[in-house]
Amino acid sequence: MTQQHSRKQPLSIAFIALLAVTLHQSFAATDAPPTAAPQTTSPPPAPPARPERGDYTVTNGNGTACLMARMGLQLNVSFSSASLNKTVLEVVNLQPNVTKSSGSCDSDSATLLLKADEKTTNLTLVFSLNATSSKYHLSGVTLSAAWPDMRVPFSASNSSLDYLRGTLGRSYMCREEQTLAVTVNFSLNTFQLQVQPFGLTGDQFGAAEECQLDEDDMLIPIIVGAALAGLVLVVLVAYLIGRKRSHAGYQTI
């Protein structure tokens, strides 16, 4: 009897200890603060596709075209968002079908004003002509916009730019995408651009002067082709030299 009692006592103590540990763990799990659910961040919105190309014309008093532009335009605007309470960057395409063009032309300046009704967007491009050198350039860009999420209407302007340089009587062309920095909060992307603000004859563009980006694009296949031709020439010369040495060896034998 004594031996059986002594065997049961350690088993009871072990059972009680195990029960106490289990109860302690369950209470600790109950008292522990709930774990916060992992926060999920929505991915940034995808940038819009390439903008559609639009045709814009400014006429003088007698109805003759004095400025012509054919281009796709994309606005990169940083503004204070009312809903997110922070500064955001929005990329917006200018849609030609909801954009009205107007402007004016003088002897040494030409202005193209584009008004887009969709988001109350006004974009002004000013071109200046140097009569001495017969060269023109885009000298000023102004944007005013009142988009739905803007805390306050947006406005940006720069009148000391030097983009899209061309020659009087000729058009400036750039097929590649260009980014024209206007201010720290606004830049303008151009696509498939052709513009002529001075020296138009009728309603036709003058001969095109292509931008450096287009010229570089044309040089790449030329350089690659020349390199391949050089490589073929080197292989051919090496083959002929090897064949000549081999033929000389046969004659010696």
Average pLDDT score over residue span 16-28: 55
Nearest to 164 by CA among 132, 182, 139: 139
Q: What's the confidence (pLDDT) of residue 218?
A: 45
Average pLDDT along the chain: 83
Domain of 117 in residue numbering reads as 53-215
Element (DSSP H or E) covering residue 74: strand 65-81
**84 located within any domain:** yes
CA pair distance 131, 128, nearest whole angstrom: 9
**pLDDT value at 5 more than 70:** no
**44 located within any domain:** no
**160 located within any domain:** yes
**97 located within any domain:** yes
**210 located within any domain:** yes
**194 located within any domain:** yes
Q: What's the confidence (pLDDT) of residue 167?
A: 97
Q: CA Rg, the chain, in Å? A: 37
If one counts the domains in the chain, the total is 1
**99 located within any domain:** yes
CATH of residue 161: 2.40.160.110
Least confident of 12-21, 56-65, 172-181: 12-21
**Residue recorded with tokens 């994309």:** 74
pTM of the complete model: 0.70
Q: What's the confidence (pLDDT) of residue 216?
A: 47
248 falls in which pLDDT band (50, 70, 90)?
low
Least confident of 36-45, 78-87, 149-158: 36-45
At 108, list the tokens. Answer: 């040494």
**17 located within any domain:** no
Count of CB atoms situated within 10 Å of the CB of 141:
22
Percent of the chain with pLDDT over 70: 70
Q: What's the confidence (pLDDT) of residue 134?
A: 97
